[in-house]
């Protein structure tokens, strides 16, 4: 778990206050927008709840589109607020019904983004709290480690798991991350539906920006 102070909670609240807007969508390495501000990216298996979490973070009901069709997001989607922070919604992975050519294109796009984005502060890898880490998470975690991009696990849908099981899941994930040097050791548990953990995640992001000298 991560210790968060009241001041950091307030800094996180202020960071996400105000309007958020769509900036760009990139479906290929050549269409990536110019680097501006500080980016944080959200990755995860299809249907893990990325769009719901981004909407909860920003306090917007439909900033990120929520699809009933797993694997629908095929581009990197960029959002910006009033300050320097930008949010990147990465394509979901692990959807077995997607064509191999499509999966290869997503993989190339994600790897190009991770390798060449100097303003990328951290990738938050979302994991369903009900299921924990799966084999389909390994390639993305491996890729993040290979390019030494800081990344952290955020559990989603924590409201669907009883407290003892959630504690065990967090311990299980933290043990797995101990073998990955580029992984941030703390795990955050969230529920977009209940709002659980959202202030702590905002605070963690505010702390990250403060460490980079960005108010």
CATH number of the domain within which 190 lies: 3.40.50.300
Identify the pLDDT of residue 69. Answer: 47
What pLDDT is stored for residue 13 in this prediction? 95
25 within domain boundaries: yes
Q: What is the mean pLDDT of the chain?
A: 89
Q: Is 56 part of a structural domain of the chain?
A: yes
pLDDT computed for residue 84 by the predictor: 93
The residue whose two tokens read 């920003």 is 58
In a domain, 170, yes or no: yes
Q: Of 22-26, 50-54, 209-213, where does mean pLDDT reach its minimum?
A: 209-213
Pick from 25-29, 66-70, 145-149: least confident: 66-70
User: How confident is residue 203, by pLDDT bands cut at 50, 70 and 90?
Assistant: very high
Domain count, the chain: 1
Span 24-43, pLDDT tens digits: 999 899 999 999 999 999 99
- Distance (Å, whole) CA 13 – CA 198: 10
Is 35 a member of any domain?
Answer: yes
Range of the domain at 65: 6-211
- Output the pLDDT for position 98: 61
Encode pLDDT of 131-146 as tens digits: 999 998 998 899 999 9
Pairing of strands 38-44, 151-156: unpaired
Going from the C-alpha of 186 to that of each of 19, 28, 89, 107, 150, the distances in angstroms are 29, 32, 21, 26, 12
Instruction: Specify the range with the lowest mean pLDDT, choosing from 85-94, 100-109, 189-198.
Output: 100-109
* pLDDT the model gives residue 1: 58
Contacts of 129 (CB under 8 A, 6+ apart): 155, 156, 157, 158, 160, 161, 166, 169, 189
Domain-embedded: residue 138: yes
The single-letter DSSP state of residue 29 is G
Structural domain contains residue 1? no
In a domain, 65, yes or no: yes
**pLDDT bracket for residue 94 (50, 70, 90):** confident
């Amino acid at each position: 778990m991560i210790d968060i102070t009241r001041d950091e909670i307030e800094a996180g609240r202020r960071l996400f206050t105000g309007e958020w807007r769509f900036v760009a969508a990139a479906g290929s390495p050549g269409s990536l927008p110019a680097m501006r501000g500080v980016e944080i990216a959200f990755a995860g298996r299809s249907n893990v709840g990325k769009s719901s979490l981004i909407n909860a973070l920003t306090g917007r009901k439909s900033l990120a589109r929520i699809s009933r069709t797993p694997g629908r997001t095929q581009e990197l989607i960029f959002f910006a607020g009033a300050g320097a922070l930008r949010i990147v919604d990465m394509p979901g992975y692990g959807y077995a019904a997607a064509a191999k050519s499509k999966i290869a294109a997503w993989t190339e796009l994600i790897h190009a983004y991770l390798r060449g984005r100097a303003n990328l502060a951290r990738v938050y890898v979302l994991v369903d709290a009900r299921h924990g880490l799966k084999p389909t998470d390994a390639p993305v975690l491996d890729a993040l480690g290979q390019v030494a991009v800081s990344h952290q696990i955020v559990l989603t849908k924590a409201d669907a798991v009883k407290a003892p099981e959630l504690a065990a899941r967090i311990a299980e994930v933290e043990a797995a991350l101990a073998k990955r040097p580029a992984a941030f050791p703390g795990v955050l548990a969230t529920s977009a539906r209940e709002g659980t953990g959202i202030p702590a995640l905002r605070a963690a992001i505010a702390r990250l920006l403060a460490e980079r000298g960005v108010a």
